[in-house]
């Protein structure tokens, strides 16, 4: 009779651990997906801004060609340089965004194995 009482407990504990693990994985996956979505949205906004800056630069170049005044030309050149720097910064942001060094599964497995080793202690 002692065997029948002792046997269900480990199974119940295992079932509870499995349910907890599944819940934690689901929550972390949702958070991971949300962060990826945010990164994608930031990247798309940066791409739109790059296009806008390119149009502004083209417009200023056209104005330089039409301008006869050296002071106006220098002001346009200064503005173009500033817009080019901003465009480069945004392009670097686009290149970096949404790129994770590891997949969700790799990072989740690592974190759960770390927690599991604490459970064993």
Position 80 scores a pLDDT of 95
SS (H, E, C) 70-94: HHHHHHHHHHHHHHHHHHHHHHHHH
Distance CA 108, CA 78 (A): 49
Instruction: Say what the pLDDT of residue 1 is.
Output: 42
| pLDDT of amino acid 120 | 60
Q: What angle do CA 35, 38, 44 make, to 5 degrees?
A: 145
Q: What pLDDT does 2 receive?
A: 45
DSSP 8-state secondary structure symbol assigned to residue 98: T
Question: pTM of whole model > 0.85?
Answer: no
pLDDT in tens, the chain (121 residues): 444 455 565 787 778 877 887 888 889 899 889 988 888 899 999 999 999 999 999 999 999 999 889 999 999 999 999 999 999 999 998 888 867 777 888 888 888 777 766 656 5
């Amino acid at each position: 009779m002692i065997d029948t009482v002792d046997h269900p407990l480990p199974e119940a504990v295992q079932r509870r651990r499995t349910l907890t693990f599944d819940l934690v994985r689901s929550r972390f996956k949702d958070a991971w997906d949300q962060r990826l979505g945010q990164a994608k949205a930031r990247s798309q906004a940066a791409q739109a801004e790059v296009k806008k800056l390119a149009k502004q630069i083209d417009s200023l170049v056209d104005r330089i060609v039409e301008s006869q005044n050296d002071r106006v030309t220098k002001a346009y050149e200064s503005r173009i340089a500033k817009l080019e720097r901003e465009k480069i910064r945004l392009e670097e942001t686009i290149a970096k965004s949404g790129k994770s060094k590891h997949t969700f599964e790799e990072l989740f497995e690592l974190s759960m194995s770390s927690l599991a080793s604490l459970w064993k202690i």
